[in-house]
Structures are given as C-alpha cells and as structure tokens.
C-alpha cells in the first residue's frame, strides 16, 4: 500500500480531533491515512476513528500496536516490528500474536510487516519497545540487514515527535537498494517535508495535525 504513497497522515485513536479538522486532513492531497499510536489504543477508539475516516475516499490502514484493538474494515494492516529492540517480542511478538488470534480471518494480501528502526531515545515508542541506541556507524549495517538480507518491503525510520538527522537519512538512502524507505518524526512544515522527502520514499506526518491543521496541510508534497 505505502509503495504508492509519497505523503501519509498518521492519526492517533487516543487523541481528539474535530470533525472539521478531520475533514480537512482526509480531503487533502495526502495519499493515505494510517491509524495508529503507542498508548491508549482500544477497540472502541480505533473503531470510532475508522468510521469517521471512512466517510471520505482516502485509503486508510491500521497499524496494529495492540491485537485487542484490531477491527475489520481497513484497506490494509501493518504489523510493526522494531529491529533495534533488546526484547525479541517487539520484533515479531505482535506478528505471532496476530497470526495466532486472527489466522482464520487474515487475507495476507492486506497485511504487511513494517520494520522499524527507532532513533529518538526520548520517545515513548523507544521506551515501550525496549529499544537500544543506534550509533551513526551502525545505521548502514541495520539498513543492509533489512534491505539485502531480510529483503523487507519497507524500512521505517522513526524519530517519533522529534525532527530527525538528515545525515542519518542520507545514509539510509545510500544503503537502501530495494526496500521502500519511510520516514516519520517531527515534520511540522513544508521545508522539513521537502528535506526528508529527498531521502525517504514516503514521509509520515502525525503530531502537527493536533497542533495546527494548517501547518499539517503544508507538509503535503508531491
């Protein structure tokens, strides 16, 4: 799904958004919406947000961060896997749990593994996934592992609320020969969107939506 996307908005089910703001986001020129978050994700708030987004024609995917909050009706389902974690359950534990609970319902053409490298050591996702620090020197090795050995469809570089290092992203771009590179974190305006779009195939914009709809819309680049 994301291979056809240049720009994606990420909506958090645990955060409030007005109908007016949601309409502007969903009727914009963004390529897709991802529903997902780290904390406070429930079946009820995922279902509510999906129903509200479904009033619009934009494609919408669910990032499965809690198997208890998986609901039908999304165009695609992404299973996150943190590859710089110290706890193997955060690399494939969610995938195994999802397969165990929903294997009889799964259409594998609508499901993708989403390999993460989390680089913001201060963010909730870094702490929750028991991630370990990735040095500049190790970045190319992580990318080569995912891109050339695992041959993953995607590589998601996550800074989660903080704007990332363009030099890191340059290294990612230089070493990713096959995987579709996704960047997320701290994009709050057009200049930042354009800078990261030089290195990522898809940019994901989230937090700024809840600060300023106008600023969020300015991140859409084609």
Overall domain count for the chain? 1
| β strands within 38-95, DSSP E | 60-63, 76-82
Question: The dihedral of CA 53, 159, 94, 153: what is its sign?
Answer: positive
Does residue 141 form part of some domain? yes
Q: Where does residue 178 rank: exposed (0-12), middle (13-18), buried (19+ CB within 10 A)?
A: exposed
pLDDT digits (tens, 9 = 90+) for 67-85: 788 888 999 999 999 999 9
For residues 161-185, give the mean pLDDT.
97
- Say if 66 falls within a structural domain: yes
Residue 172 scores a pLDDT above 90: yes
Residue 191 in domain: yes
Is 63 within the bounds of a domain? yes
For residue 143, is pLDDT > 90?
yes
pLDDT, position 51: 96
| Mean local confidence (pLDDT), 140-154 | 97
pLDDT digits (tens, 9 = 90+) for 190-219: 999 999 999 999 999 999 999 999 999 999
Residue 4's pLDDT is: 93
Band the pLDDT of 176: cuts 50, 70, 90: very high
Can you state the angle between helices 166-175 and 190-197, rounded to 10 degrees? 30
DSSP 165: -
Judge whether 222 lies within some domain. Answer: no
- In terms of residue numbers, what domain contains 127? 2-217
Q: For the chain, what percent of residues have pLDDT higher than 90?
A: 79
Quote the pLDDT of residue 213: 97
88 or 53, greater pLDDT: 53
Contact 25, 11 (CB under 8 A): yes
Residue 95 has pLDDT above 80, yes or no: no
23-75 confidence digits (pLDDT tens): 999 999 999 999 998 888 999 999 999 999 999 999 999 999 887 888 889 99
CATH number at residue 130: 3.20.20.390
Tokens representing 109? 């053409």
On whether residue 78 sits in a domain, the answer given is yes
pTM of the model: 0.94
HSE at residue 63, side-chain half, CA atoms within 13 A, is: 24
Is residue 166 in some structural domain? Answer: yes
| Residue 44: per-residue pLDDT | 96
């Amino acid at each position: 799904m994301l291979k056809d996307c240049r720009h994606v908005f990420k909506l958090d089910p645990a955060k409030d958004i007005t109908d007016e703001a949601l309409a502007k986001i969903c009727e914009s020129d963004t390529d897709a919406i991802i529903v997902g978050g780290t904390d406070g994700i429930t079946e009820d708030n995922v279902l509510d947000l999906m129903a509200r987004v479904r009033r619009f024609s934009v494609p919408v995917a669910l990032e499965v961060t809690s198997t208890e909050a998986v609901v039908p009706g999304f165009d695609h389902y992404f299973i996150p896997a943190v590859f710089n974690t110290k706890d193997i359950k955060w690399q494939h534990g969610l995938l195994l749990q999802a397969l165990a609970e929903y294997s009889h319902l799964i259409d594998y053409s609508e499901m993708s593994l989403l390999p993460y490298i989390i680089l913001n050591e201060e963010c909730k996702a870094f702490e929750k996934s028991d991630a370990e620090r990735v040095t500049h020197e190790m970045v190319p090795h992580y990318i080569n592992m995912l891109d050339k050995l695992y041959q993953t469809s995607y590589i998601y570089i996550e800074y989660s609320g903080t704007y990332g290092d363009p030099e890191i992203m340059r290294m990612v771009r230089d070493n990713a020969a096959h995987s579709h590179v996704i960047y997320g974190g701290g994009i709050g305006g057009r200049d930042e969107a354009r800078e990261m779009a030089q290195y990522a195939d898809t940019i994901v914009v989230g937090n700024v939506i809840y600060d300023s709809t106008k600023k969020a819309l300015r991140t859409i680049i084609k």
